[in-house]
Amino acid sequence: MTGPESEGSQVRRAVCPGSFDPITNGHLDIISRASRLYDEVYVAVMINKAKKGLFEIEERIDLIRQATAEFENVRVEAFHGLLVDFCKQRDIPAIVKGLRAVSDFDYELQMAQMNNGLTGVETLFVPTNPTYSFLSSSLVKEVATWGGDVAHLVPPVVLEALNKRLRKD
């Protein structure tokens, strides 16, 4: 079938990739907004064997699944390899990324251009909710490690997991 009818029947897919060690409210904001724009949103937990995280990949996936349970069109998967291959294998034409500040832009632009040059996949940047413009998984881990309050920065399941991992409860 060709023309508008076949185009209209296509499932619109996007991916929100990241390390998610752990997922924060900033990530959740971007995922929820992507879930309103696309039919199916994949959250791809990209495996970087050179980087030891606080949480194992399976734990990260479990936390993301719980935190995104209300979004019926969101699915969570881990992947070891290039993001463009993740996209190719699942017929995903768009990567959705949050931009917190100008400081994010240089690196994100490089990755977007590289990925586009590799397979033609597009990257769409969503301006982060200003409430979370300073937020990163690394900062959350650092603050939580030293006993700072991160309850307003992460989903409740992540707060619980952080407290357990850092032996504070």
Applying CB under 6 A, the residues found at the interface with ligand PNS are: 17-19, 46, 82-83, 111, 114-115
Smallest distance, Å, CB 96 to ligand PNS?
Answer: 11
Q: DSSP letters of 27-69?
A: HHHHHHHHHHH-SEEEEEEE--TTS--SS-HHHHHHHHHHHTT
| Ligand-binding site membership of 97 (annotated) | yes
C-beta of 17 vs 155, nearer to ligand PNS: 17
C-beta of 108 vs 160, nearer to ligand PNS: 108
For residue 137, indicate whether it is catalytic: yes
Report CA-CA distances (Å) from 73 to 42, 63, 96. 8, 17, 15
SS3 165: helix
| Ligand-binding site membership of 137 (annotated) | yes
Catalytic residue among 36, 51, 52, 152: 51
Q: What is the torsional sign of CA 59, 65, 68, 73?
A: positive
Written as one letter, the residue type at 21 is D
Q: List residues with catalytic annotation.
A: 27, 51, 100, 137
As annotated, the binding site for substrate includes 19, 51, 83, 97
As annotated, the binding site includes 19-20, 27, 51, 83, 97-100, 108, 132-138
